[in-house]
Amino acid sequence: MGALLKELRRNRFVAMIAILAALGGFLFGYDTGVVSGALPYIGKGLGIGSFGESWIVGSLLLGACVGAVISSWLADAISRKWTKLLAGCVYVAAALGSAFAPDVVTLCVARFVLGLAVGTASFVAPMYIAEHSPRSVRGAMTTFNQFMITLGILIAYVADFALKGFAHNWRWMFGFGAVPGVALAVAMVLVPHSPRWLIEQGRRREAAGVLAHSRQPDEIDAELDEIEEVVGTQRATGWRAVLAPRVRALLVIGVALAIFQQIIGINTVIYFGATILHYAGYSTNASLGEAVYLGIINWVGAGVALLIVDRVGRRPMLLIGTIGCCLSLIVLGFFFLEGTGFEHRHAGIMGLGPVMAYLLFFEIGLGPMFWLLIAEIFPLRIKPKAMAAATVANWLFNFLISYFFLDLTKSIGKDWTFWLYAGFAACAVAFFFLRVPETRGRSLEEIERAVREGALAAPAKRSTGLAPGSSGAA
Ligand code: BGC
């Protein structure tokens, strides 16, 4: 921790960039988290049933898929910085649109537009932060985005709880998102372009100016030469380049991380946290309050991840976190075992135990590691496209899981729903163990060179220091 603080002091400029860029993460968290507390009131206010409710949740998630695709092009064409500024403006317009929606269709359209911004910010923020960060703190800086996602979720829960007695409260819940949206747009005017994007555009002098804020004078030229070298070796930027064999292997890892992140059921807990607690015997009002505790645990977990990721490494955190999620889900399933009366006898604080453990493990594992790894493993030239592909998979599975969760609990029971998630988590552990490389302590260019040499994704090649299980110096 002391070492991290020293590094942060040395890298104050990059830390400031991470804080401003991660406002996008905050909005991602807020806008996805706020809906769980708002739904019961929208139901009453606009008179909709569970079908309409599913679409209010789902429209944002579908919008996020479309937003990620559009931004895969924008992030290259107009830069990461201006893409995020655009996302900030869309956040503001769509938050106001949701707040003033006269009917459910308008609300769904506004939430879809909001999704465009959420899908954009979800991957452009970690990409932009990672591209600014020196290797020694890249993990912490990029994980800061997840820390802000979880803060956004927490603030959303607090807003839901605080506003529960007010008239038109759900309109305020949605409308509040406009404030950080404005902050994001203004912040993006102030921050510099990514030095790696500048090099791609042939703007070396400007890139040197940006690096001068965070690197020693004698480090700048070497880093710029290294970036130019990797940019020079890969000219192709189209989808065909993304599907070239070496990158394809990484794409499989990125997309698998994306899908596993969702199919172990995280958003079942995030969006339906109050509902799960309700199953466990809490009243609707009490469970909104308890959801705040869940938000705090979630946030603390991401904070711990941020502090240790550059020391512990990506792989150990991913493995330990996912094993922990798997075990917590198994226990949660028992808690909901139908017909035993267990769920009623132990309703209360015990029901919270496995849910809290699950969140903690998710936040030190798959939560931040997915976004961090996809910001690290892909070559610069095709990074926006490859990251967008993983991001689309993530939002699509987020949509499927959230849309079908309630149906699933009805058809196979709550116990088996959680055990199904546990089964997916067990598969995830095996996949990560066999396929996910360690990237700690390497510059993005060293990682890219390893990809070119076919050394990054091959588990057997331990000698490169980039194969699974290896540990580069932080
Ligand atoms: C996931 C979201 C999830 C959040 C919870 C993110 O990494 O992509 O789907 O809601 O973590 O903290």
For the segment 306-320, what is each residue's pLDDT rounded down to a tens digit?
999 999 999 999 999
Mean pLDDT of 341-369: 79
pLDDT digits (tens, 9 = 90+) for 91-117: 999 999 999 999 889 999 999 999 999
For 260-281, what is each residue's pLDDT tens digit?
999 999 988 776 666 666 666 6
Residue nearest ligand 1's atom 8 by CA: 367
CB-based contacts of 385, cutoff 8 Å, min separation 6: 72, 237, 239, 242
Q: In the predicted model, is pLDDT for residue 2 greater than 90?
A: no
Mutate which of 32, 57, 145, 149 for ligand 1 pocket (most atoms within 8 A of beta carbon): 149
Residue 255 — pLDDT band, cuts 50, 70, 90? very high
With beta carbons less than 8 A apart as the criterion, state whether 5 and 310 touch: no
Q: Are 180 and 30 in contact (CB under 8 A)?
A: yes
Find the 265 Cα to ligand 1 centroid distance in Å: 10
Q: What is the pTM of this model?
A: 0.91
Tell me which of 41-50, 81-90, 279-288 is least confident: 279-288
460 pLDDT more than 50? no
Q: How many residues does the chain have?
A: 474
- The string of pLDDT tens digits covering residues 362-410 is 999 999 999 999 999 999 989 999 999 999 999 999 999 988 887 888 8
Out of 34-38, 153-157, 454-458, pick the least confident: 454-458
Residue 30: what pLDDT? 95
Q: Which atom of ligand 1 is nearest to the CA of 366?
A: 7
Distance 408 CA to ligand 1 centre (A): 21
| Residue with CA closest to ligand 1 atom 4 | 367
CA distances from 105 to 55, 254, 401 (A): 9, 34, 22
Among candidate residues 276, 296, 241, 266, the one with its CA nearest the CA of residue 395? 266
Name the residue among 29, 437, 22 with its Cα closest to residue 271.
Answer: 29
- Quick one: average pLDDT of 76-98? 97
Q: In terms of Cα–Cα distance, which of 183, 90, 71, 76 is closest to 131?
A: 76
pLDDT digits (tens, 9 = 90+) for 171-187: 999 999 999 999 999 99
Taking every pair of Cα atoms in the chain, the longest distance, rounded to a whole number of angstroms, is 69
Report the C-alpha gap between 173 and 45 in whole angstroms: 14
Output the CA 29–ligand 1 centroid distance in Å: 7
Amino acid at 204: R
Asked whether residue 458 carries a pLDDT value surpassing 70, the answer given is: no
Residue 46 has pLDDT above 50, yes or no: yes
Residue 344 has pLDDT above 70, yes or no: no
Q: How confident is the model at residue 463 (pLDDT cuts 50, 70, 90)?
A: very low
Distance set, CA 420 to CA 66, 178, 261, 263, 424 (Å): 29, 38, 14, 9, 6
Q: What is the pLDDT of residue 114?
A: 97
Tokens describing residue 55: 């679409």
Residue 190 Cα to chain centre, angstroms: 24
Tell me how crowded residue 91 is: count the other CB atoms within 10 A of its CB.
32
Ligand 1 atom having least distance to the Cα of 153: 12
- Residue 293's pLDDT is 84
Q: Which of 26, 122, 261 to mutate to test the pocket of ligand 1 (most atoms within 8 A of CB)?
A: 261
Looking up tokens 């001068």 gives 212
Contacts of 77 (CB under 8 A, 6+ apart): none
443 CA from centroid of ligand 1 (Å) = 26
Q: Is the pLDDT of residue 283 over 80?
A: no
Q: Name which residue leads in pLDDT, 33 or 472.
A: 33
Residue nearest to atom 12 of ligand 1 (CA): 150
Averaged pLDDT of the chain: 88
Q: Which residue has the tokens 């009131």?
A: 41
Q: What is the CB neighbour count within 10 angstroms for residue 205? A: 9
Cα 266 to middle of ligand 1, angstroms: 7
Name the range with the highest mean pLDDT among 50-54, 247-251, 363-367: 363-367
Closest CA to 469 of 253, 251, 314: 314
466: pLDDT strictly greater than 60: no
Residue 469 has pLDDT above 50, yes or no: no
The tokens describing 46, both together, are 């606009």
Residues 142 and 132: their CA atoms lie apart, in Å, by 10
> Which residues, at least 6 apart from 16, have a Cβ–Cβ distance to it below 8 Å?
none
